[in-house]
Chains A and B, each alone.
Chain A
């Protein structure tokens, strides 16, 4: 018990970083996903092709590769006088936001396409502009439709955030692993597991609450 209390602060420190990455990724990637999703259904061909390529790239390669690419890969371009060097933390956010933005974009694209054409038409004859229609008619309905899928990705993100381990960030998993190899005991890893379970349970609960809030109409 004293051992648990002893290592808890370092684990909580790790958990703090995990949560920071989690929140910034959500804050960056959901709006990005929505914008890209709108672009994916736009009639402007070059935008569509470019965004499809982006989504294909992000979903077709491992997030771990993307992380390593951004943090270890891009700096090697210095030999060609291209300076793209991220700190560990920024590299992690950059890769996560781009990656999750692509997954969210696909989800939003599906949601946007499921809004009947008649909704746009009735907004049009009421003289609402395109952006007014998107904001007041489309997005509220899309949010309800995509909420379960977004929720899945959010839970995935809690766990995926542990991938930052590979670029040397001190997240929850690293904190546990450090303690385990130092003290040769399983306890820190069990605690790490418990903290992840707690986090995913909390987010699942919050998501259920939001879904319930949206059940006021059918």
Chain B
């Protein structure tokens, strides 16, 4: 369970997030919606440890947790970036196995076996040897998801998972997120697409731009 208590974020003197409170239960999907500039990405970056918070608290399973400074391999918060940010010089398989090998110290054989299972699960079974530039947008996104899942994250976060995709693929992402939920994955989805959010989310958090 992830809890945000009075989470506040300033960029310089500018208040972006004002006392956000949110509880994300295990296995739930929470979506964060709101207009552009509302601070959705900023909130996701705070949760995933890419930005420090200005005040407030983040708790995981009721104990305080600082994702910004955490360097352990527990409580990993996985992130699927809007632009995916795959490593262009590594094959799909190497993209996925890099962190398990280097960080979790898994052997090559185990890392590759696990990665192959993830690829199969995400219908990318035969794509392991390709490089990111050889993939479609939807395939890149699924590789990004596989790469995040390979670290056994406690929570998986997405920033605008539908924005870089063909509208026809929207349904596919929706199905995928829901099927990960059935496996018990806790997910946070940032989107400005309210109907999409309504279809997947157990809970919605609305953020809006703050007046200065």
Is the Cβ of B79 less than 8 Å from the Cβ of A218?
Answer: no
Interface flag for B81 (CB, 8 Å): yes
Bound-state CA distance A136–B103 (Å) is 12
Task: List A residues 132-152 near B (Cβ within 8 Å).
Answer: 132, 136-137, 140-141, 144
Is the Cβ of A136 less than 8 Å from the Cβ of B98?
Answer: yes
A–B complex contacts, Cβ < 8 Å, 29 sampled: A119-B87, A121-B79, A121-B85, A122-B79, A122-B81, A122-B85, A122-B86, A124-B49, A125-B48, A125-B49, A126-B98, A126-B147, A126-B148, A126-B151, A127-B73, A127-B76, A128-B98, A129-B71, A132-B103, A136-B98, A137-B87, A141-B88, A144-B89, A216-B131, A217-B88, A217-B89, A217-B131, A218-B88, A218-B131
> Which of B88, B102, B132, B148 is close to A136, meaning CB atoms less than 8 Å apart?
B102
Interface flag for A116 (CB, 8 Å): yes
Contact mask for chain B residues 90-134; partner A; CB cutoff 8 A; 1 contact, 0 none: 000000001100110000000000000000000000000001110
The A contact surface, by secondary structure, is: helix
Q: Which residues of A contact B88 (CB under 8 A)?
A: 141, 217-218
Interface flag for A118 (CB, 8 Å): yes
Interface size on B, residues (CB 8 A): 26
Q: Which residue of A lies closest to B50 (CB)?
A: A121
Bound-state CA distance A140–B79 (Å) is 23
Chain A proximity of B97: nearest CB distance (Å): 11
Q: A137-B87, A141-B89 are in contact. Are A127 and B131 (CB under 8 A)?
A: no
Task: List A residues 202-217 near B (Cβ within 8 Å).
Answer: 216-217
Q: In the complex, given contacts A121-B85, A127-B71, A128-B103, what are 14 additional A-B residue pairs having Cβ atoms less than 8 angstroms apart? A: A118-B81, A118-B85, A125-B49, A125-B76, A125-B77, A125-B78, A126-B98, A126-B103, A126-B147, A126-B148, A127-B76, A128-B102, A217-B132, A218-B131
Is the Cβ of A127 less than 8 Å from the Cβ of B99?
Answer: yes
